[in-house]
Structure 1
Amino acid sequence: MTGFHEVQFPLRLALGTSGGPVRRTDIVNLSNGRENRNARWRDSRRSYDAGSGIKSVADLYAVLEFFEARRGRLHGFRFRDPLDWKSCAPGAVVSAGDQQIGTGDGTTASFPLVKTYGDGGTGWVRRIAKPVAGTVQVSVDGVAVAPANYSVDAVAGMVTFVPGQIPATGSVVRAGFEFDVPVRFDTDRIEVDLSHFDAGRIPTIPLTEILP
């Protein structure tokens, strides 16, 4: 992922963030009253606004500094979605059995991290490109795999088994993890309103997801 900085937007500055997934669907109304629907995007794309209420001057400066270091919209960065940031439900604890990331064939050593939303034949599989280092747990056929038997690429979101530990044919590979969303600023301008002596606000800080 070019033009990307492996740094996280400060969590304390993201309080009050709004936003979520966005999809693009074309709807054509037919003469008989029915309609045709067509998905323009295969995957959804997250969009956020990290602007919030009154902040201290120190926090305002931290946003300004982070924005300048990214050169506005030029470089991407990591962002913690306040609702969807791990392989399980918000109130659950991450475990090695959370998400199926592949099926062994006896030769494939690397598996991309994914998260599935929904169930049955209607589920949508999301590629997870930015796992949080040190949080990934892996299991094969329900048995936890020792960390020494695999490596995790936290930049690309890949799990790679070491030689001699490659999953056998038909075995189910699962993983649990925390993750960030790769985003960029969706503006080249930050407006700071110093409405108080020692505090102020930035009304809007638009962010948009960078798809892998």
Structure 2
Amino acid sequence: MSGFHEIRFPLRLALGASGGPVRRTDIVNLSNGREQRNQRWRDSRRSYEVGSGIRSLTDLYAVLEFFEARRGQLYGFRFRDPVDWASCSPGGVVSANDQIIGTGDGVTAVFQLVKAYQDAGGSWTRRITKPVRESVLVAVEGVAVTDATYTVDATTGMVTFAAGHVPVAGALIEAGYEFDVPVRFDIDRIDVNLAHFDAGRIPTIPLTEILA
């Protein structure tokens, strides 16, 4: 991913941020009173407001410093979603059996980390491109394998099995992990007014997800 710094937005500020997934849907009202809905984006795109996480001048300066180091919108960075940051549900413990990432064919050695969102009515699969490397666990046919049998690219989310450990045909491959969202600042200017800040008014600092 070009123009990207592999550094995480300060976690203490991310925990106070607001935001989540955004989708784009065209809705056309028909002459018979019904409506037709068309999906404009294949995948959702996360959007966050981190100004809500600022509680002190120290926090504010930390954001300003981070903003300057990224040159505003120029360089992307990692952001931990305050709710959705692991392969398991909130409050759960990451397990090697959390998510299905593929099925072996005896030849393919590289598999993309993904996360499935599903219920009885439908599902959507999300590519995970910024995992936390040391958190990744992998299982083949339900059994966790040692990290000596595979490598993880923390910049792309690709899991590569070593020679001699490529999953056999039909083998189910699963993984568990923590992950960040690749984002950038959605502004090139931060307005700071200390009088307003002391009165409880915080600056608006939006972030938007970068899709690979």
Amino acid of the structure 2 residue aligned with 1:144 = A
Superposed CA RMSD in Å reads 1.9
Amino acid of the structure 2 residue aligned with 1:32 = N
Q: What is the rounded CA distance, in whole Å, between the counterparts of 1:195 and 1:12 in structure 2?
A: 24
Cα 1:53–1:108 change in 2 (3 A) is closer
1:115·1:127 contact (CA, 8 Å) conserved in 2?
yes
Using the TM superposition, name which of 120-129 and 24-33 deviates more.
120-129
Q: What is the rounded CA distance, in whole Å, between the counterparts of 2:121 and 2:196 in structure 1?
A: 54
Aligned to 1:184: 184
Q: What is the rounded CA distance, in whole Å, between the counterparts of 1:25 and 1:69 in structure 2?
A: 35
- Map Cα deviations across residues 7-41 of structure 1 (whole Å, 9 max, x no partner): 00001122321111000001111111111111000
- Map Cα deviations across residues 12-71 of structure 1 (whole Å, 9 max, x no partner): 122321111000001111111111111000000000000126633222211111000100
1:106·1:167 contact (CA, 8 Å) conserved in 2?
yes
Amino acid of the structure 2 residue aligned with 1:49 = E
Aligned to 2:151: 151
1:60·1:200 contact (CA, 8 Å) conserved in 2?
no
1:60 alignment partner, SS class: helix
Please, what TM-score do these two structures have when normalized by structure 2? 0.95
Cα 1:26–1:200 change in 2 (3 A) is closer
Aligned to 2:22: 22
Please, what TM-score do these two structures have when normalized by structure 1? 0.95
Aligned to 1:86: 86
Aligned to 2:6: 6
Offset, 1:191:
1.5
Aligned to 2:172: 172
Cα 1:63–1:103 change in 2 (3 A) is same
Gaps of 5+ in 2: none
Identity of matched residues, %: 73
Offset, 1:195:
3.0
Aligned to 1:102: 102
Using the TM superposition, name which of 59-68 and 104-113 deviates more.
59-68
Offset, 1:120:
5.6
2:16·2:54 contact (CA, 8 Å) conserved in 1?
no
Aligned to 1:58: 58
1:105·1:169 contact (CA, 8 Å) conserved in 2?
yes
Gaps of 5+ in 1: none
